[in-house]
């Protein structure tokens, strides 16, 4: 009974965070695509259930003798957003696609999104470390074996998604992409986000930056930045932006599958009268909030907070935009939330703000936006809103696949 109580507490904690961003009426009224219409009445924006892909992968890996490491135990509260394929996707010739880091949370989601969106794949190759080589994994292309990563094998692909550490990306990304025979590399790490000449892309906002550069290496932004900009970009286009202030409430999924596993196990332990340990997070996360994500810098901000500033400026092409961010880790499994205040160049008209959000691709079903209202501090030139999005999808895997659709 106590174990059941622990599981229920975890479930409630995860779902509660996903209910905190009720959509403003005008945003809720956005026209539904046919596939989305059946879901419109659902009271919770994102359903809580084990990912079928992750569950199948764990089952296969256990059968092969794996010990159920944290990287393969991740719970998932996911729903693939109703994002229309990029218009030109029908014209993309089938590609040889490689995913490096398929045993991690983001790697598994990239494999799932490729299949769910029907990306034209002629051959799918799954890469990981030697420890995972030979193990089976369920994909949209059937059951495939994981391969040990090698440069030669990766360069045989047309597109390579990197769901790996920054150190790994620094060592291998340019080697995979360089030269006439190199692959298009879409990197999910922070290794190249701030490098001149490497586009940092949210396709609905600045896909043209990658096309203009004819880049073979494209960086995927930080999850927090990507979720925020889905709402900020259309509002900037409507009213202009003087400054942005935000506080983020980031789920355990931001630390990958090990982070989700640590939260799950710690919550169960505490609900059963024990204590929670911490290896992934700076402090035990269950029933706690931690205003500390990534390392502290000399200016007392964390690196995660500065990532939001740097990346917002680069993606929106506003190099001097003042951005202040406080990032907080919260005890939910998946989906980040952000309270955002914008000082605008032009006076805010709420009806126009709703209309801009309605028209923005990806908002409402991809990134939830609610609590849209004028800000009391900045008056007519201020806007407050609350944003919620799936860190592993909009903030990572889905954005990466959308980049491929836009530029392949």
Catalytically active residues are 223, 336
| Contact partners, residue 183, CB within 8 Å, separation at least 6 | 98, 154, 155, 157, 158, 159, 160, 176, 177, 216
Nearest of 46, 66, 6, 5 to residue 368 by alpha carbon:
46
Q: How many residues does the chain have?
A: 408
**Phi/psi at 336 (5° precision):** -95, 150
d(CA 398, CA 403): 9
Contact 178, 156 (CB under 8 A): no
């Amino acid at each position: 009974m106590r174990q059941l109580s622990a599981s229920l507490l975890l479930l409630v904690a995860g779902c509660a965070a996903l209910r905190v961003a009720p959509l403003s009426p005008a945003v809720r009224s956005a026209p539904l695509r046919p596939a989305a219409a059946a879901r419109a009445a659902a009271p919770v924006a994102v359903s809580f259930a084990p990912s079928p892909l992750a569950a199948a992968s764990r089952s296969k890996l256990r059968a092969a003798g794996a010990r159920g490491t944290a990287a393969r135990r991740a719970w998932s509260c996911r729903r693939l957003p109703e994002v229309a394929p990029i218009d030109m996707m029908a014209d993309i010739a089938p590609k040889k696609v490689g995913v490096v880091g398929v045993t991690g949370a983001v790697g598994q989601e990239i494999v799932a999104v490729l299949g769910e969106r029907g990306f034209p794949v002629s051959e799918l190759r799954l890469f990981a470390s030697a420890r995972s080589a030979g193990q089976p994994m369920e994909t949209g292309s059937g059951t495939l074996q994981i391969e040990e990563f090698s440069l030669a094998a990766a360069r045989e692909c047309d597109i390579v998604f990197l769901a790996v550490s920054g150190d790994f990306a620094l060592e291998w990304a340019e080697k995979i992409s360089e030269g006439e025979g190199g692959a298009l590399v879409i990197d999910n790490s922070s290794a190249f986000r701030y490098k001149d000449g490497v586009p940092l892309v949210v396709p609905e906002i600045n896909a043209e930056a990658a096309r203009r550069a004819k880049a073979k290496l494209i960086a995927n932004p930080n999850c927090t930045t990507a979720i925020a900009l889905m709402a900020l970009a259309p509002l900037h286009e409507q009213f202009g932006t003087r400054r942005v202030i935000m506080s983020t409430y980031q789920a355990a999924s931001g630390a990958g599958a090990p982070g989700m596993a640590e939260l799950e196990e710690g919550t169960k332990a505490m609900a059963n009268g024990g204590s929670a340990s911490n290896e992934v997070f700076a402090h035990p996360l269950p029933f706690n909030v931690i205003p500390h994500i990534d390392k502290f810098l000399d200016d007392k901000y964390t690196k995660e907070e500065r990532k939001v500033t740097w990346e917002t400026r680069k993606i929106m092409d506003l190099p001097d935009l003042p951005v202040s961010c406080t990032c907080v880790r919260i005890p939910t499994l998946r989906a980040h939330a952000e309270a955002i205040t914008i000082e605008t160049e032009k006076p805010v008209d709420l009806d126009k703000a709703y209309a801009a959000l309605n028209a923005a691709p990806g908002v409402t079903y991809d990134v939830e936006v609610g609590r849209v209202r004028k800000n009391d501090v900045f008056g007519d030139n201020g806007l407050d809103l609350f944003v919620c999005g799936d860190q592993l999808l909009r903030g990572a895997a889905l954005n990466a696949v959308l980049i491929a659709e836009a530029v392949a």
